Amino acid sequence: MMNSRSLLKHISTQAAIVGAGPAGLVLALLLQKEGIDCVVVERQSRAYVESRARAGLIEHQIVELLRKHGFSEGMDLNGVPHTTCEFRHGGRRYMIPYGDHVHASHFVYPQQFIVQDLLQLFISRGGIVFFSHPAVKIEGLESDRAVITCTSSENSVLKVECDFIAGCDGFQGLCRSSIPSTDTKIFSKQYGIGWLAILAEVPSSTKKLVYALHKSGFAGQMPRTSQITRYYLECPPNDQLSNWSDDRIWSELGKRLAVDGDENLIQGPIVEKRVLNMRSVVMEPMQYKRLFLAGDAAHIITPVGAKGMNLAISDADVLANALIHYFRSGDEVLLREYSHVCLPRVWKTQEFSDWMIRLIHSNADSDQNKDKDFSDRLRQVRLERLQQTDTYAKLFAESYVGLKQ
Ligand code: RFL
């Protein structure tokens, strides 16, 4: 119900979702499908969220989830299944056909396309998203109804009163900080490693995902579409973008990705570059009274294993089930269990990402006496075992492709 006054809008709903990223939109669609009343409030404009290029690798179980609920049309039409990745080290290629080990595949389909598809579906079915409405205050978490206050560029105020708030507003959002620090514990790790994340409007030199372990540092090549490739270059964690001219980027990629002679990189316009600091954070529990966090709002993970968006969608699925169960039966048991259900998967994924970090960087250990040559030998053995030992490769494949554990 909406009462509009000159500058104040007041609406009432069952579930208010803060953030129109992958977590918020999957949750909104799942609730909408079951007839649960919900609205989404989003800080940015629609054009902005639909063009934010980030992830691109969708795990097998998330592909299955999107298909099961009928959210996968765009991915099925335009996504590309992947079953092999390639490591490069010491002048050798290590092809890992992970898909064959577990009879499953990844899909490469850029995050901004998923967001576009989900938004289009939600809105076309009558869903309401308040774009350019940042949530600025959360109240009433301890009472019968919670209230979110949002502002908008037209200087109006929106108040959303609800039974539950889903905090899907990412790592910098408001929801996480609305939980009293005495009721949560934050676990975090800084790896002391940076990645220069680059988006280039060029086809990649191979269709596979490439992880190159070079003496000068890691380099990655991740195809996104036939015309767009994401590249990564290891760099100091707080490196300045001004140190990275386009010429230096292409030359460093060519050197680090080369195996025998020069890497035949197709050079072209670099449309985005940013320095990422390799760090991971998990908040426990992921809920407080009427507020439930999902995705990056509750945990972030280094982009090394390409897991952040997948975890976000997985949380949204768990939260949707709990809310649907509650609104059908009045039984709060699944809501109470929400964090206990999500966290084991979050921690297994963190463990895998930590393992991957050690595999692809020679200086990932906190040990002060880092011996890069020693680490390098260990990395070589790990790659050989991935190629030669079926059980080792299968364990990697299960985590990498994202099977339900
Ligand atoms: P999002 O996508 O950050 O969405 C949160 C939304 O909340 C809005 N918001 C607010 N709205 C209202 N009021 C407020 N006060 C608000 N504050 C924030 C924001 O505008 C935004 O729209 O969180 P969500 O849904 O949890 O999804 C998480 C994923 O986006 C993230 O984990 C991934 O992008 C991480 N990630 C990758 N994940 C993968 O699974 N596979 C990958 O290959 C992968 N590659 C990546 C990545 C992240 C990267 N960056 C930029 C950190 C590559 C990169 C470069």
Is 400 assigned a catalytic role?
yes
Whether the per-residue pLDDT at 374 is higher than 90: the answer is no
Residue 1, domain member (yes or no): no
CA of 256 to the centre of ligand 1 (A): 28
Is 211 assigned a catalytic role?
yes
C-alpha span between 125 and 104 (Å, rounded): 32
CA of 297 to the centre of ligand 1 (A): 9
- pTM summary value: 0.95
Is 110 assigned a catalytic role?
no
What phi-psi label fits residue 343: left (phi over 0), alpha (psi between -120 and 50 degrees) or beta?
Answer: alpha
C-alpha span between 236 and 277 (Å, rounded): 9
CA of 311 to the centre of ligand 1 (A): 11
Say how many residues make up the chain.
405
Residue 53, domain member (yes or no): yes
Within a 13 Å sphere around the CA of 321, how many CA atoms are in the beta-carbon half? Answer: 15
CA of 32 to the centre of ligand 1 (A): 22
Quote the pLDDT of residue 366: 53
H or E element at residue 360: helix 338-360
Quote the pLDDT of residue 3: 46
Q: Which residue has the higher pLDDT, 403 or 161?
A: 161
Mutate to test the pocket of ligand 1, among 309, 318, 356, 400 (most ligand atoms within 8 A of CB): 309
- Range in 126-130, 132-136, 177-181, 364-368 with the lowest mean pLDDT: 364-368
Neighbours of 227 (CB within 10 A): 12
3-state secondary structure of 208: coil
Is 289 assigned a catalytic role?
no
Hey, whose CA ends up nearest to atom 49 of ligand 1? Answer: 54
CATH number at residue 295: 3.50.50.60
Whether the per-residue pLDDT at 228 is higher than 70: the answer is yes
Whether the per-residue pLDDT at 351 is higher than 60: the answer is yes
> Which candidate, 43, 49, 40, 33, places its Cα nearest to that of 11?
40
C-alpha span between 318 and 266 (Å, rounded): 42
Hey, whose CA ends up nearest to atom 45 of ligand 1? Answer: 55
Quote the pLDDT of residue 11: 97
The answer to whether 120 and 132 are in contact (CB under 8 A) is no
C-alpha span between 81 and 99 (Å, rounded): 10
The answer to whether 356 and 278 are in contact (CB under 8 A) is no
Choose, from 232, 299, 303, 326, the residue flagged as catalytic: 303
Burial of 80 (0-12, 13-18, 19+ CB in 10 A): middle
Residue 404, domain member (yes or no): no
Residue 210, domain member (yes or no): no
Residue 335, domain member (yes or no): yes
The answer to whether 87 and 219 are in contact (CB under 8 A) is no
CA of 217 to the centre of ligand 1 (A): 26
Residue 157, domain member (yes or no): yes
Report the mean per-residue pLDDT for the chain: 94
3-state secondary structure of 117: helix
Whether the per-residue pLDDT at 35 is higher than 90: the answer is yes
Give me the DSSP letters along 73-99: HHHHHH-EEE--EEEEETTEEEEE-HH
Whether the per-residue pLDDT at 6 is higher than 80: the answer is no
Mutual angle of helices 308-329 and 60-68, in 10-degree steps: 40
Domain residue limits at 31: 8-61+111-188+280-353
- CB-based burial, 238-255: b 16+ in 10 Å, e otherwise: ebeeeebeeeebbebbbe
Strand partners, 12: 161
CA of 362 to the centre of ligand 1 (A): 28
Burial of 230 (0-12, 13-18, 19+ CB in 10 A): buried
**pLDDT interval class at 365 (50, 70, 90):** low
Mutate to test the pocket of ligand 1, among 45, 159, 169, 349 (most ligand atoms within 8 A of CB): 169
Quote the pLDDT of residue 261: 74
Q: Ligand 1: which residues within 6 Å by Cβ? A: 18-24, 41-44, 49, 54-57, 111, 134-135, 168-170, 173-174, 197, 276, 295-296, 303, 306-310, 312
**pLDDT interval class at 367 (50, 70, 90):** low
Residue 160, domain member (yes or no): yes
C-alpha span between 116 and 143 (Å, rounded): 35
Residue 28, domain member (yes or no): yes
Q: For 20-41, what is the mean pLDDT?
A: 98
Domain count across the chain: 1
Is 326 assigned a catalytic role?
no
Choose, from 299, 307, 326, 338, the residue flagged as catalytic: 307
